[in-house]
Structure 1
Amino acid sequence: MLTDRIFSGKASAALAIVVLLSGCAGFSGDGGLQAVSDMTQASIGQTVARDSDGQPHESEATISELLARPLSADDAVRIALLNNRGLQAALAEIGIAEADLVQAGRLRNPSLSFGHMRGGGDTEIERGIMFDLAGLLTMPMRTRIEEGRFNQAQLQAAERAVALASDTRRAYFNAVAAQQGAQFMARAAEAAEAGAELAQRMQAVGNWNRIDAAREQLLYADTVAQLARSRHAETEARSNLMRLLGLWEEGVQLQLPATLPTIPEKPADLAGLEQRAVAQRLDIQTARRDTEATARALGLSKATRFINVLDAGYRNKSETGQPRSNGYEISLELPLFDWGSARTVKAESLYMQAVHHTADTAVRARLEVRQAWSAYRTAWDLSRHYRDEVVPLRKKVSDEMLLRYNGMLASVFDLLADARLQIAAVNSAIEAQRDFWVAETDLQAAINGPLPGNSAAAADSAPQTMPADHAGHSDH
């Protein structure tokens, strides 16, 4: 009986320790969002916020205030970070990863057994409780693995926020340029309409031949078609921007500035940009965390290679006419058919895959920065060329044409044709200015994360980490 009491006391103490250990894991107060906000703040200068109940409240006032004035690129990014549902879905992934982390710090529920046998006037009762001893031994390692995945989920959410900011800035500049281009095409259509109407009147009085009048009509018809295309491009660009901003309600109006921002006087220098990209790009940090998590999974696979399932528990037995007997039971999976070698080889292969993927991501980051900077510098040169050379020369030609018209050395059709050429030059300058700001956005995206079109390929080539809940279990 003394032995029974001693064992019962030990079992109770072990049960208390198990309960204490399993109860230590809990959820963080912010759900891991603060770390994401810190990373996005460091990358793009803005933070993110989670919409917990699907019905934004505080953000509504901020969005309404931003929409009440002409929108800037930074304002558009702010609205997107508050209101884009795709980003909110990415932030929800953090909660899933945190739930897995908390679950990894909790033991599997104990199993109770009860047996009742009766015969020959005797009754035999057996009771037992079993605990996952292997789970208790591997809990610290499993917790570290899930902690790495939790941190990885935070990095991925921050990467999604940075990518959304870049997409929003591109859409913003495209929308402003499309609006500005449609306005200039409307002026060109007015000039073409005036020329066609004047040609018809002059043909009616015999001062203009039919072929020249037909050419003016054809030019007007072509200008009208271009105006329709430019208006559709404006609608499409504005709709794309509203989609990224998460605005779909009827009656929402975007107030965009009349012109694009002026380009800087000096372009950015390539020196140091590649090192910055390798040091702060979120996809590289994600790949590094993935490699660390895979390494931890490899350690868990080796630790549980031979002993995969180990349960221990307390049992007692009651029998009619006999004193109750107490004891313990241990259940151990015998490695007769599966020695865990396949699991270990798989974990090692996944680790080497993660290592090579991290190196490939770093190499791709350097090349993306070089390509983005080349496009950025070319766009800067072209925009300055149009601003300082083409547009001033076209204006000079237009001024001379106006002087010739006033001196009756040029006709009104020459004046209208020159006006159309001037508008075309200004449209080209607008496109060059837009291309610069898009290239500048791409350069910043190359420093902070993968460029558009490369993120999908990177995701396809990303290694598949071994789940923590399967790393230590059999592959039967």
Structure 2
Amino acid sequence: MHRIAVYLPLALGLLPMLAAGSQPYEPTVPVPEPTFVPLPSSLLEGDAMGEDDWRSANDTVGAFTRGHIDIIRWEAENRPATTTEVPSDDAPLSPTEALRIALSNRPDLFVTEDMNRLERARADVAVLEFARDVQRTWIEAVAATARLRRAEEAFEATEIATELGVRMTRVGNWGQDRLLHQQLSLSDAGIDLLQARQSATSAREALIRTLGLWGDATELQLPDQLPALPDAPLGADGLETAALQKHPTLSLLAIEAERARRGLASRTLDMWNDATQRALSDALAPAPDEGEGEAMLQLITSAPLLEQRRLPRGHDAAKAAKSQAEAAALAVGIRSRVREAYHQYRVAYAIAQGAEDNQRLSEELQNDMALRYNGMLKSTWDLLSSARDRVERADAAMQARRDFWLAHANLQAVLAGAEYSGPDAGTAATGRNAAAGGH
């Protein structure tokens, strides 16, 4: 299992070359048609109460160890295969390999020796942000594929329950209303499965576009799941200081601002500061007829006006002030983005830990339920409900893990000098909405 590196890899130093597994665009080569996989055959046809002979149906059930559910599984296992999957011998795509492929198709992100320091610094930032986007797209694709498997498991469990309900209706053990409720659950599970397929397809295609893949290379092999959570989250000590020191452009702006400030006399700086403060006071002064409450609602309507007679001669003071403001604003922004990204990272880690604890408890409950079922202490419906709850909590844990690694990618990019893309809207749930089965 490939683990995401602690720091995002940089593109500088990589030679532009055609990535292994990537093919160049060739317009004359035929391409296959898009595919769509429909849902399994529906179980929503109407079934009448007492349609089958009760004794004959129960004799059939009695031939199996655990009754109805074993019949359904036996039939599912012995159905003719509808599709044939060819196993792939390719190694799963790691985030580092994904970045190498993506960069090989982006020559505009490489630097040259004739660039000045500021151009190189800005190029570093562009590569950092691109690397973060590649990593995030890889995370989304792996997570969406894993979630599709959970949706397939949930659909299978609901399909089994619905088939059991159909048979119970046919022999007269169920009323039509109970069957309709179960069929509605199957319809909902089918919609969830289709949506999961669409999400997985969209995430995969987004990764293909980001990597620039063409031809057979689009049949990429992804890991089965995301890396496990680290044993402990990153500590906060020194993060803001390290981010300030590592930022590619901050030191250059700070040096430029300091040089501009040192070139001015103290009296020149005092004149500039006095002029700016007076301009602010005039711009923000309330109208004579405004009360305190009305002033709270009054927005500034014009830019502060600097009076020429109060300004020092020349443009050096304005240039120095602008340089200092740019450096200060960047430093403030860096520290703020680190704090926000780190808080998101720690929240995502705590949620992912809680979701994985819920998954573990749900699996233990499922194992206990299976033992009680085999001992005839629990019904088939209890077992199916427990299975659906386990699948939902496994899905919630996977989504929480995805949110953590997305937050991790954001934090590492910010620490290296990239902009903060903002917190992700976490979709991880607790898995407590499992539909209860009947008895």
TM range (shorter): 0.5 to 0.7
What is the match of residue 332 of structure 2? 363
Q: Residue 101 of structure 2 is aligned with which of 79, 89, 98?
A: 79
What is the match of residue 110 of structure 1? none
> How far apart are the structure 1 equivalents of 2:233 and 2:365?
30
What is the match of residue 428 of structure 2? none
What is the CA-CA distance between 1:288 and the residue it aligns to? 4.1
* DSSP 3-state at the match of 2:116: helix
> How far apart are the structure 2 equivalents of 1:254 and 1:209?
49
The number of aligned residues is 306
Letter in 1 for 2:126: R
Q: Residue 406 of structure 1 is aligned with which of 374, 383, 391?
A: 374
How is 1:245-256 mapped onto 2 (pairs within 5 angstroms)?
245-249=211-215, 252-256=218-222
What is the CA-CA distance between 1:410 and the residue it aligns to? 2.6
How is 1:103-118 mapped onto 2 (pairs within 5 angstroms)?
none
Q: Residue 179 of structure 1 is aligned with which of 122, 127, 145?
A: 145
Is the radius of gyration larger for structure 1 or structure 2?
A: 1
In structure 2, do the counterparts of structure 1 residues 264 and 453 end up closer, same or farther at CA, with 3 Å as the change threshold? closer
Q: Is the 8 A contact 1:152 1:290 kept in 2?
A: no
Gaps of 5+ in 2: 1-5, 24-88, 265-310, 423-439
TM-score, scaled relative to structure 2:
0.63
Q: Residue 279 of structure 1 is aligned with which of 221, 245, 249?
A: 245
Letter in 2 for 1:168: V
Q: Is the 8 A contact 1:280 1:447 kept in 2?
A: yes
How is 1:163-242 mapped onto 2 (pairs within 5 angstroms)?
163-242=129-208
Please state if 1:264 is matched with 2:230.
yes
> How far apart are the structure 2 equivalents of 1:418 and 1:208?
21
What is the CA-CA distance between 1:234 and the residue it aligns to? 0.9
What is the match of residue 18 of structure 2? 59
Cα deviation digits, residues 45-95 of structure 1 (max 9, x gap): 4434688xxxx7x3344758xx94211122222222222x3xx33447x68
Please state if 1:391 is matched with 2:359.
yes
What is the CA-CA distance between 1:248 and the residue it aligns to? 4.2
Letter in 1 for 2:413: A
In structure 2, do the counterparts of structure 1 residues 450 and 184 end up closer, same or farther at CA, with 3 Å as the change threshold? same
> How far apart are the structure 1 equivalents of 2:417 and 2:246?
9
> How far apart are the structure 2 equivalents of 1:237 and 1:408?
44
Structure with greater strand share of residues: 1
Please state if 1:416 is matched with 2:416.
no
> How far apart are the structure 1 equivalents of 2:317 and 2:165?
80
How is 1:64-143 mapped onto 2 (pairs within 5 angstroms)?
68-83=90-105, 85=106, 88-91=107-110, 98=114
Q: Is the 8 A contact 2:341 2:420 kept in 1?
A: no
In structure 2, do the counterparts of structure 1 residues 292 and 68 end up closer, same or farther at CA, with 3 Å as the change threshold? farther
Q: Is the 8 A contact 1:80 1:164 kept in 2?
A: no
Cα deviation digits, residues 247-268 of structure 1 (max 9, x gap): 2446522211101111111111
Q: Is the 8 A contact 1:156 1:286 kept in 2?
A: no
In structure 2, do the counterparts of structure 1 residues 401 and 60 end up closer, same or farther at CA, with 3 Å as the change threshold? closer
What is the CA-CA distance between 1:372 and the residue it aligns to? 1.4
Gaps of 5+ in 1: 1-41, 99-148, 299-341, 455-476
> How far apart are the structure 1 equivalents of 2:216 and 2:261?
51
> How far apart are the structure 2 equivalents of 1:245 and 1:286?
32
Cα deviation digits, residues 294-334 of structure 1 (max 9, x gap): 899x9xxxxxxxxxxxxxxxxxxxxxxxxxxxxxxxxxxxx
In structure 2, do the counterparts of structure 1 residues 82 and 285 end up closer, same or farther at CA, with 3 Å as the change threshold? farther
Q: Residue 372 of structure 1 is aligned with which of 308, 332, 341?
A: 341
> How far apart are the structure 2 equivalents of 1:399 and 1:410?
12
Aligned-residue sequence identity (percent) comes to 32
What is the CA-CA distance between 1:421 and the residue it aligns to? 0.9
> How far apart are the structure 1 equivalents of 2:165 and 2:190?
17
> How far apart are the structure 2 equivalents of 1:451 and 1:407?
59
Cα deviation digits, residues 30-49 of structure 1 (max 9, x gap): xxxxxxxxxxxx97444346
What is the match of residue 353 of structure 1? 322
What is the CA-CA distance between 1:403 and the residue it aligns to? 2.2
What is the CA-CA distance between 1:197 and the residue it aligns to? 1.5
> How far apart are the structure 2 equivalents of 1:209 and 1:293?
86
In structure 2, do the counterparts of structure 1 residues 261 and 445 end up closer, same or farther at CA, with 3 Å as the change threshold? same
TM-score, scaled relative to structure 1:
0.58
Cα deviation digits, residues 125-146 of structure 1 (max 9, x gap): xxxxxxxxxxxxxxxxxxxxxx
In structure 2, do the counterparts of structure 1 residues 406 and 358 end up closer, same or farther at CA, with 3 Å as the change threshold? same
